[in-house]
Amino acid sequence: MQLKKLELFGFKSFADRTKFDFEPGVTIIVGPNGCGKSNVVDSMKWILGEQSAKSLRGTEMLDVVFNGSRTRKPLGFAEASLTFANTRGVIHPDLDEICVTRRLHRDGQSEYMINRKSCRLKDIRELFMDTGVGLRAYSIIEQGKIDSFLQASPIDRRLVFEEAAGISKYKARKKEALRKLERVAHNLEMISINITELDKQLRSLKVQAGRARSYREAAERLRKLRIALSLHEYHGANEECLRISGDLVMVSNNLSDVKAAISVNEAEVAQVDENLKERDGMIMEKSGRLSGLENSFSLSNERIRANKMTIESLREEEIRLQERIAECESRIAEAGAEQESLKSKRTSIEERSAAIARQIELLEAELARLASGIATAQAGIQDGRSEIMQINADRARVGNDVEKLRTRFAEIDRRRASL
For β-strands 110-114 and 97-105, DSSP reports them as antiparallel
Looking at residue 238, its pLDDT comes to 82
Q: Burial, 278: exposed, middle or buried (Cβ in 10 Å; 0-12, 13-18, 19+)? A: exposed
Say which DSSP state 84 is in. Answer: E
Instruction: Please state, in angstroms and rounded to a whole number, the distance separating the CA atoms of residues 135 and 62.
Output: 19
Contact between 12 and 39 under an 8 Å Cβ cutoff? The reply is yes
How many helices (H) does the chain have, and how many strands (E)? 7, 6
SS3 1: coil
User: Residue 103 has what pLDDT?
Assistant: 93
Specify the long-range contacts of residues 180-183, CB closer than 8 Å, at least 24 apart. Answer: none
Q: What is the per-residue burial (b if ≥16 Cβ within 10 Å, else e) of 245-267? A: eeeeeeeeeeeeeeeeeeeeeee
Sign of CA dihedral 90, 92, 93, 98: negative
pLDDT for 205: 85
The pLDDT of residue 43: 86
Residue 170 main-chain phi, psi, to 5 deg: -70, -35
User: Is the distance from CB of 12 to CB of 64 less than 8 angstroms?
Assistant: yes
User: What whole-number distance in Å separates Cα of residue 261 and Cα of residue 99?
Assistant: 126
pLDDT at 326: 73
State whether the Cα torsion 328-333-335-339 is positive or negative. Answer: positive
Local structure of 267: helix, strand or coil: helix
The DSSP-derived string for 314-327 is HHHHHHHHHHHHHH
pTM of the model: 0.39
SS3 content of the chain, % helix, strand, coil (to 5): 70, 10, 20
The answer to whether residues 2 and 24 touch, using CB atoms and an 8 Å cutoff, is yes
> How many Cβ atoms are within 10 Å of 207's Cβ, its own excluded?
10
Q: What is the pLDDT along the chain (419 residues), one digit of tens a residue?
A: 678 889 999 998 888 899 988 888 777 778 888 777 888 888 888 888 888 888 788 888 888 899 888 888 889 999 999 898 877 766 666 777 889 999 999 998 999 998 889 999 888 887 777 565 655 555 666 655 666 666 767 776 676 666 655 566 667 677 778 888 888 888 888 888 888 888 888 888 888 888 888 888 888 888 888 888 888 888 888 888 788 878 777 877 777 776 776 677 677 767 766 776 776 677 677 666 666 656 655 665 566 565 567 667 666 766 776 777 677 667 767 766 766 776 776 677 667 667 766 776 776 777 677 667 666 756 666 765 666 677 667 667 766 776 777 787 778 778 778 87
Burial of 362 (0-12, 13-18, 19+ CB in 10 A): exposed
